[in-house]
């Protein structure tokens, strides 16, 4: 079982990402300024990592054993999560590609509905780790 305070922290990060997006001016169905969209995507990705860390701590890992890179997250998730839920493991990969790479790093997410859907998928991912 995940400790509630840590899960609250992951959800707080996700809430912060949504708050950032509320302040961004929109033109039609697109964000007019990509910088805060990148910030929101990075914050949402951090929410995922916080939720995964808490899941792993609940599985018996200690703080020093928590992953420190994407590849390390993949490796530890294969060991602790894919056995029970391969779909969730694949969703982590998709969220990494979408939020971290396309949204944060490259700044490729401009359409309001796309970003909204990715943040909803992020929340669903976090909720499944409870």
What per-residue confidence (pLDDT) applies to 33? 97
What per-residue confidence (pLDDT) applies to 77? 85
What per-residue confidence (pLDDT) applies to 25? 97
Low-confidence stretches of the chain (pLDDT < 50) are 1-3
Closest listed residue to residue 92, CA positions, set 52, 41, 37, 38: 52
What is the total count of domains within the chain? 1
| Domain encompassing residue 109 | 4-128
What per-residue confidence (pLDDT) applies to 96? 97
Distance, in Å, from the CA atom of 8 to the CA atom of 11, rounded to the nearest integer, reads 5
* Residue 38 structure tokens: 């990148």
What per-residue confidence (pLDDT) applies to 82? 63
**Interior angle at CA 34, CA 28 and CA 36, nearest 5:** 110
What per-residue confidence (pLDDT) applies to 34? 98
CATH number (domain holding residue 116)? 1.20.120.330
Distances (CA, A) of 73 to 79, 114, 124: 10, 25, 19
Look at phi and psi of residue 60 and say left if phi exceeds 0, alpha if psi is from -120 to 50, else beta.
left
What per-residue confidence (pLDDT) applies to 66? 95
């Amino acid at each position: 079982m995940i400790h509630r305070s840590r899960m609250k922290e992951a959800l707080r990060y996700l809430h912060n990402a949504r708050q950032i997006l509320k302040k961004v001016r929109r033109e039609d169905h697109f964000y007019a300024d990509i910088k805060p969209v990148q910030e929101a995507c990075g914050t949402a990705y951090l929410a995922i990592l916080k939720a995964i860390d808490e899941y792993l701590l609940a599985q018996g890992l200690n703080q020093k054993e928590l992953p420190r890179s994407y590849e390390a997250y993949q490796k530890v998730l294969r060991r602790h999560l894919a056995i029970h839920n391969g779909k969730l493991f694949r969703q982590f990969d998709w969220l990494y590609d979408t939020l971290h790479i396309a949204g944060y790093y490259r700044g490729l997410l401009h359409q309001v509905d796309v970003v909204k859907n990715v943040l909803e998928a992020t929340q669903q991912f976090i909720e499944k780790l409870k």
